A and B are shown apart, each in its own frame.
Chain A
Amino acid sequence: MKSDLQFQFMADVPGHTLRIKREFAGPRDLIWDCYTKQELLEKWFAPKPLKTKTASMEFREGGHWHYAMYDDDGTEYWGWTDYVTIDPTTRFTSRDAFSDATGAPNTDLPIADWVVTFEEAGDHTIVQTVIDYGSPEGLQTVIDMGMEQGLSATYVTLDDLIETLKG
C-alpha cells in the first residue's frame, strides 16, 4: 500500500536545508529513469493541480533542465536546474535557480544545491533529497516569497501564544 511507504520531511532552519526521504515501490533503475528522462520527469515533478513542461533538457554533467510548472490559468513558475555531478542510478547533484521563460536566472532569489541519492531496499528504492539554500538569509528569502504569494493567512502564531502565556 502506498500509505505504508516511508516518508520523512525534515527542515533545518539554522542549517538552511530541507531533507526529504521517500520510499518507492519500484527498482532503483526505474526510479532513476523517472528522475532523469524528460518524458518521465514531466509526468510527476509538479504536484496537482500544476503540470510540468520542458523548454530544454540535457541530463549530463554540465547539462541542464529548463522547465516550468504551470496551472490551468496559465500562470507559469520557471526554473533552471544545472546538473553538476552524475553517478548513474545512485546519485546526482544539481543547482536549482528561479528563472523565466528565456532561461535567465532570477538573481534576487537564492540558488539551491540539491543532492539526490538512490538506495536499494529489497525491491523498493529509497530516495533522499537534500536541498541547501546556502545561508539562513537565503532560506528566509524563499520563505518570505512563499508567504507573499498569498498562501499565508491570519494564523495564530504559536511563538506569540507561548510568549503570552509565559508573561
Chain B
Amino acid sequence: MENNETDLDAIFHALADPTRRAVVQALVRGEATVSDLAAPHDMGLPAFMKHLGVLEASGLVDSAKVGRVRTCSLNPATMSATERWFEEQRTFWQGRYAQLDDLVAALQGDRDEK
C-alpha cells in the first residue's frame, strides 16, 4: 500500500493528461468516490477507470473499496505541507478512535458478563 519511492517519471506522465490533472485537483479538496470524480468528465466509466489506474500506478492516488463504493484519496507522500498536516491529523484521529473501539468493546464485554 505504501509507496516509499517517488517515481517522478510516473507522476509527470500521470499529470500530463488534463482529465487526470482535474482528478488530482479535485482530490486536493478531500477524498471522493469514483462516481463523484467521474461525473464532471464526458467519458464512459471504463475510460475513466483507466485514467484512475494511471494515477494509482504513479503513487499519486490511493483508493479503497468499502462495500460497493470505491473512494479515492491523494497519497500523503506526494502532498504539500498543508495536505500533509491534514493527513497526519486524520491518522491521529484514526489511532485515537481505534483505542476507543477497544475500550467500547471491553466495556460491553464487562456489561455482558454481569
Contacts and interface: CB of A to CB of B under 8 A. Distances in A.
Interface of A: 2, 4-5, 7, 9-11, 13, 18, 20, 22, 24-26, 30-31, 33-34, 40, 43-48, 142-143, 146-147, 151-152, 155-162, 165
How extensive is the interface on chain B, given as a class? 35 or more
A39 B21 CA distance: 49
Interface in B94-114: 94-105, 107-108
28 contacts: A2-B101, A7-B94, A9-B86, A9-B90, A13-B82, A24-B97, A25-B104, A26-B108, A30-B107, A34-B100, A34-B103, A40-B103, A43-B103, A47-B93, A48-B95, A143-B85, A152-B81, A155-B77, A155-B80, A156-B8, A158-B24, A158-B79, A158-B83, A159-B80, A160-B80, A161-B78, A165-B12, A165-B15
Contacts of B103: 34, 40, 43-44
A56 B80 CA distance: 38
Contacts, number: 111
A43 B104 contact: no
- For the complex of A and B, list the 10 residue pairs with the smallest distance between their C-beta atoms, beginning with the closest: A47-B95, A44-B99, A26-B104, A44-B100, A11-B86, A9-B90, A47-B96, A143-B85, A157-B80, A146-B85
Contacts of A45: 96
Interface of B: 6, 8, 11-12, 15-16, 21, 24-25, 28, 30, 60, 66, 74, 77-86, 88-90, 92-105, 107-108
Given A30-B104, A155-B78, A146 B90 contact: no
Contacts of B77: 155-156
Given A9-B93, A30-B107, A165 B16 contact: yes
Nearest to A10: B30
Contacts of A5: 101
